[in-house]
């Protein structure tokens, strides 16, 4: 997983989850320079703002301008814990956000005053696989709409209970002409199961078409729900096309390979770029032989027809939950003396891939290299995997006894003893009954946080995790299910397969990772040169375990992406220590930090309103990690007007 996806209805309360796409299509494709009209600011998801009022010289004067509380918190005593992970849109002078209960809210941008709220009324006691999470809405401007007409600007949300809703951005009322009274059911898929099939990410919109994926539980059974991607007419809600990520083969039993993270679009090419996850079940592939196209891939789909333009698979026959969790990012780089329009892709393996946008072919070298083979009965491992050899990796990909980290001799001995029992200690070590160390692991690498880009510098910014897991296959006759716990073992039945599974972070008896710090990092890659510019730890984890307090800089396991600005800044929350950070984009040095009401596992955004630049982030804590303080605050920062 990138997320820790839930298994058997009991989630690993740890890290995880899923993002998916936002897009604003207009008749001309134009938008105001200071609008944040897509999840990643622009259609291709660069997450770069041209605003400069807040910059390296004055960022230290940022202070809270306003705070809005949604009131939507679930502590898990009834239903599941909530996590506030929205990234608002800013369009036509209004902010639009979602809450963990799938309520859509419009705010006045200079005060945070609520203008309206729409409630789709999901079951708050339901079990939704990833916890109660919604990361935002998509927006579409109808080129046929008259000024002030109903649903001229429409907001689309995919709900936890598998509905696609359309709301008038002006009033917050459902768009009556869309589906049935403003909504379309997304439950009509093979092997649908309420709860394990859900939505946490917003759709994408291009060519008057709304495109939606899904989040699907991991490791529950072999034949999980289909990971079909569907497209609907933006006005009527009529189904236009559907695309199945798994190519049908006789005798193959599988499902999922779903698009749970953020999609991006290229309106000029009429393409939507879809990141897909692993086929089910994650850790045993004996019933799904072959490479499992197009799981673990970035695919380019013609938004008008649903036809595959090209696909690039980042992992063949995935056995590690190495989903393509990071949203594909579209940008232009200078390579071999010319400008090249590219797609940037990454997954939890820590590899970074740069693909030609028209063909999907690698721009920097990728080699198919031999990898260890499985000895598990019935498993046929892919003989090779695609190694990105032309770019720096974003996370460590192996760990041996000489690299073990510990705070005491007893802890070090325990960590080494665990390693000695395992059958593999590197990125593509196939799961076994003996157990393997998954490095970076299902929480590792850039995860759904993805990356931001500064087009003026050619710099890619990624926040990443270094947090290996111990993964074991359990023969069916020996399996006893248990829910695990915070930072504890997670079990999955993998029903229908001869093996169940368990996975747990590689921790010492004192609860500190056996992998050396930093456990969370910010990394800058120069994509014009293909070189590392800087790497720095950020954040801390003492809030969940006092043992972490002494490590400076230890870095924090983090989820929630960064943004860049023309003011030379990187803004990021993500860390467990409830801090919001501003870094110098040229050096990685932290220039400013502020304490938030709760940790901010959401991507921030920025906009200008009333002559002032605001930087906004949702602070809600984690839906997975029980020790984290929960919150419901959307916090806006602006420069102090005082001396």
CA distance 412 to 402: 10
CA distance 544 to 548: 8
Site of tokens 């999922």: 256
Contact 558, 575 (CB under 8 A): yes
Site of tokens 């059911």: 185
**Number of residues that make up the chain:** 643
CA distance 300 to 284: 28
CA distance 384 to 365: 16
Around 330, how many Cα atoms within 13 Å sit in the side-chain half-sphere?
A: 27
Which phi and psi angles does 500 have, rounded to 5°? -90, -175
The dihedral built from the CA positions of residue 175, 177, 182 and 186, taken in this order, carries a sign that is: negative
Question: What is the DSSP-derived secondary structure letter of residue 430?
Answer: P
Question: What is the DSSP-derived secondary structure letter of residue 145?
Answer: P
The H or E element containing residue 90 is strand 89-91
Site of tokens 């009527």: 236
Contact 528, 20 (CB under 8 A): no
The H or E element containing residue 139 is strand 138-141
Mark whether 411 is an active-site residue: no
Whether a cis peptide bond, with omega within 30° of 0, leads into 518 is yes
Tokens of 1: 């997983």
Helix, coil or strand: residue 448: helix
Question: What is the DSSP-derived secondary structure letter of residue 423?
Answer: S
- Contacts for 637 with CB less than 8 Å, ≥ 6 apart: 62, 63, 64, 65, 580, 594, 614, 615, 616
DSSP bridge partners of 139: 24, 155
DSSP bridge partners of 341: 332
- Contacts for 339 with CB less than 8 Å, ≥ 6 apart: 332, 333
Contact 154, 160 (CB under 8 A): no
> Cβ atoms within 10 A of the Cβ of 353, count?
24
Outline where DSSP puts E strands in 193-307: 197-198, 204-206, 209-212, 215-216, 229-233, 239-243, 264-266, 271-275, 297-302
Tokens of 463: 């926040």
> Choosing from 72, 218, 318, 321, which is the catalytic residue?
321
Largest CA distance in the chain: 72
Which phi and psi angles does 377 have, rounded to 5°? -55, 130
Whether a cis peptide bond, with omega within 30° of 0, leads into 294 is yes
CA distance 297 to 553: 34
Based on DSSP, count helices (H) and strands (E) in the chain, helices before strands.
1, 43
Site of tokens 């001799």: 409
Which amino acids are annotated catalytic?
321
């Amino acid at each position: 997983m990138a997320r820790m996806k839930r298994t058997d209805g009991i989630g690993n309360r740890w890290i995880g989850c899923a993002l998916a796409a936002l897009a604003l299509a207009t008749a001309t494709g134009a938008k105001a320079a200071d609008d944040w009209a897509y999840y990643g600011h622009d259609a291709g998801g660069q997450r770069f703002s041209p605003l400069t009022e807040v910059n390296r010289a004055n960022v230290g004067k940022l202070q809270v301008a306003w705070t809005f509380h949604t009131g939507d918190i679930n502590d898990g005593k009834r239903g599941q814990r909530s996590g506030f992970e929205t990234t608002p849109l800013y369009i036509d002078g209004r902010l639009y956000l979602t809450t963990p209960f799938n309520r859509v809210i419009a705010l006045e941008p200079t005060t945070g005053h609520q203008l309206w709220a729409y409630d789709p009324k999901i079951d708050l006691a339901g079990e939704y696989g990833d916890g109660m999470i919604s990361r935002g809405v998509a927006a579409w401007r109808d080129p046929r709409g008259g000024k002030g007409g109903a649903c001229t600007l429409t907001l689309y949300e995919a709900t936890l209970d598998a509905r696609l809703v359309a709301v008038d951005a002006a009033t917050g009322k459902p768009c009556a002409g869309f589906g049935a009274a403003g909504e379309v059911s997304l439950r009509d898929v093979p092997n649908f199961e309420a709860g394990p099939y859900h939505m946490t990410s917003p759709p994408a919109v291009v060519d008057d078409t709304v495109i939606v994926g899904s989040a699907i539980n991991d490791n529950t059974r072999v034949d999980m729900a289909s990971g079909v991607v569907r497209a609907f007419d933006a006005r009527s809600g009529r189904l236009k096309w559907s695309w199945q990520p798994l190519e049908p083969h006789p005798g193959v039993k599988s499902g999922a390979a779903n698009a749970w993270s953020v999609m991006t679009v290229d309106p000029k090419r009429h393409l939507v770029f879809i990141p897909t996850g692993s086929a089910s079940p994650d850790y045993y592939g004996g019933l799904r032989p072959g490479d499992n196209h197009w799981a673990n891939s970035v695919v380019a789909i013609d938004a008008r027809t649903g036809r595959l333009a090209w696909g690039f698979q980042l992992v063949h026959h995935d056995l590690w939950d190495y989903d393509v969790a990071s949203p594909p990012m579209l940008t232009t780089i200078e390579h071999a003396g010319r400008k090249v329009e590219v797609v940037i892709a990454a997954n939890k393996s820590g590899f970074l891939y740069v693909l030609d946008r028209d063909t999907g072919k690698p721009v920097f070298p990728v080699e198919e290299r031999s990898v260890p083979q499985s000895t598990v009965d019935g498993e046929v491992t892919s003989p090779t995997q695609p190694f990105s050899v032309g770019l720096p990796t974003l996370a460590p990909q192996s760990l041996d006894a000489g690299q073990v980290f510990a705070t005491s001799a007893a802890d070090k001995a325990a960590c080494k003893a665990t390693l000695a029992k395992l059958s593999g200690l590197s990125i593509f070590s196939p799961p076994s009954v003996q157990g393997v160390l998954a490095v970076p692991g299902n929480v590792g690498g850039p995860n759904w946080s993805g990356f931001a880009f500064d087009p003026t510098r050619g710099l890619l910014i990624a926040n990443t995790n270094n947090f290996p897991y111990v993964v074991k296959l359990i023969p069916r006759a020996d399996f006893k299910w248990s829910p695990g716990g915070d930072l504890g073992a997670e079990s999955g039945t993998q029903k229908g397969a001869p093996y169940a599974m368990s996975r747990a972070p590689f921790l010492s008896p004192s609860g500190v990772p056996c992998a050396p710090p930093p456990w969370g990092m910010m990394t800058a890659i120069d994509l014009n040169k293909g070189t590392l510019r800087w790497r720095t730890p950020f954040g801390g984890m003492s809030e969940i375990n006092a043992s972490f307090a002494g490590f400076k800089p230890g870095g924090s396991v983090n989820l929630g992406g960064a943004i860049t600005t023309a003011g030379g800044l990187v803004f990021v929350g993500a860390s467990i220590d409830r801090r919001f950070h501003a870094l110098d984009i040229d050096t990685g040095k932290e220039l400013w930090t502020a304490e938030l009401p709760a940790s901010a596992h959401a991507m921030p955004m920025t906009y200008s309103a009333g002559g002032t630049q605001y930087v906004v982030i949702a602070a809600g804590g984690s839906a997975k990690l029980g020790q984290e303080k929960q919150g419901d605050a959307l916090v806006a920062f602006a420069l102090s007007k005082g001396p």
